[in-house]
Amino acid sequence: MATTATSGTQTPPQLPKHKVKIKKPGQRACNEKNEKGKFCGGHLKRWFYTTDVLEQACGDVEKAWGRDAEVYRCEHCKTLYLPNPEDSGGLNVAGSGRISVFGLTVPAKSK
């Protein structure tokens, strides 16, 4: 798998037919602005571009990042997002959670 950008402040290389951005840590909604200056706000979903019929015809993403890159796409404006290297991945779909107000510490589950 090809590495793309190392920091959230860098701009990733743009593809001819896709707008590409880097997710901010914990970001789950699109922050792309439309022509009126309003945020899109669409959910970012993991995009499996190798099974997308329209992307197979285009082929830009697979040429740029390989066959199994982790790419997210906005459900409304179709902007592509690359994962942030500073964001912790694979912990929980709902987020990192918070510390209990009761002072309890729950041990992590063993695999």
Q: What is the pLDDT of residues 94-111, one digit of tens each?
A: 555 566 667 666 667 776
What letter does residue 73 receive in the DSSP assignment? E
How far apart CA 72 and CA 21 sit, in angstroms, is 10
Does pLDDT of 14 surpass 70?
Answer: yes
Query: Predicted confidence band at 6 (pLDDT cuts at 50, 70, 90)?
Result: very low
Of the two residues 25 and 21, the one the predictor is more confident about is 21
Cβ pair 40, 7 in contact under 8 A: no
Model confidence at 23: pLDDT above 70: yes
Quick check: helix, strand or coil at residue 101? coil
Tell me how crowded residue 12 is: count the other CB atoms within 10 A of its CB: 15
User: What global pTM score does this model have?
Assistant: 0.68
- Does residue 62 sit in helix, strand or coil? helix
Indicate whether 13 pLDDT > 70.
yes
